[in-house]
A and B are shown apart, each in its own frame.
Chain A
Amino acid sequence: MATHKGKTNEPFWWALFGAGGVLAAFCIPVLLFLNGLAIPLGWIEPPRYEDALALVQHPLTRLFLFGLISLSMFHWAHRFRFTLYDGLQIKHLNFLVALMCYGSAVVVSILTAVVLFQL
């Protein structure tokens, strides 16, 4: 159908931004509630260490956690890039700002993968 003529790569970053936003909005409150409130305050019985480890070691859990952390980082990177871009009025440093923001997201994604797969 429609053409983009390769002029812009914004759709790529926006897709990661959008996916990260949706995933974070749905999943992080649930995870925070379970791990930050319900379990420490004893509202629900804490899982045994072995069970929790087995859950995290499951390939689907690893994939989910990697997707959640990585895409949330790309969400942050995109928003922070525009915050710097508009807030500090540093249009001329656009490339550097983008490299710093998306670069951080890439680095955190790699670290996440390393940590998750060493568990």
Chain B
Amino acid sequence: MPETITLEVFRYRPEEEQEPTFQSYEVPFRKDWVVLDALNHIKDEIDGSLSYRWSCRMGVCGSCGMMINGDAVLTCAAFLETYLPGPIRVEPLANFPVVRDLVIEMSDFMEKLNRVSPWIIPAEEKPVSEGEYLQTPDELEDYKPYSMCINCMLCYSACPVFGLEPGFIGPAAIAIAQRYNLDNRDAGNEQRMEVLSDDEGIWQCTLVGECSAVCPKSVDPAGAIQRYKVTATTEWWKSKLMPWSQ
């Protein structure tokens, strides 16, 4: 077991340098440390100027996603031991503009997420006095896997189509749209279809499947997209062959 391990960390300070550089830090190697612990050690003990996002340390907040040796992962779930003997290359999430060091610009994702109306749109609003909207365990199961998404954006980093076509609405936004489309309390299918079945929606996807491979919550966005292609295609043919059914 080594005493230390080296991290090669992507640095970009726009006020100081034109081009990003890599800086090496030697940190203590501990079996129970993840990459995020090592970054926190650097920040606290070695170099307080390093910038990165993190919050919960337990795979819930979705803010510590980075590229570790080229793979999109949550740094709170990436044990140093996995990368022995090192060095470990730490970079900001791919396919996003970098604000500073390991911090990426995520407003494009936030805007896309909002476009799919990620909330329950009831057929008609009922007053609180009428009580809850009841749901059976089976009805919950229909959308539950998609509701596990934590918006960590690893799927956007892993998606080669998003890398080539930044307009693509992307895996997480589509999976989250399906989380609401498949909820029996929701009636927003129609308004989401306009966004999802657009040329920048599901039709950009070529089923590479990397989004599902990197997802830390097993959401399976690739599956959500394929299922939605079937739904959208059925509706499209219906609208062409039976225009009166609209």
Contacts and interface: CB of A to CB of B under 8 A. Distances in A.
A10 B164 CA distance: 19
A18 B198 CA distance: 19
Interface residues of A, number: 17
Contacts of A43: none
Interface string B65-82: 000000000000000000
B246 interface: yes
A15 interface: yes
Output the residue of B189, B232, B238 with the most chain A CB within 10 A.
Answer: B232
A15 B190 contact: no
A18 B233 contact: yes
B197 A8 contact: yes
A80 to B, nearest CB: 11
Nearest to B229: A14
A61 interface: no
A86 B238 CA distance: 30
Nearest to B226: A18
Nearest to B245: A1
Interface string A1-37: 1111101101110110010000000000000000000
A14 B230 CA distance: 9
Contact of B206 (A1, A5, A18, A82): A82
Given A1-B190, A2-B190, A4-B197, A86 B164 contact: yes
Interface residues of B, number: 24
A2 to B, nearest CB: 4
A32 B194 CA distance: 42
Nearest to B205: A82
Contact of B236 (A4, A18, A82): A4
A1 B235 contact: yes
A88 to B, nearest CB: 11
Contact of B237 (A1, A3, A15): A15
Contacts of A91: 165
B192 to A, nearest CB: 8
Interface in B144-161: 160-161
Interface of A: 1-5, 7-8, 10-12, 14-15, 18, 82, 86, 89, 91
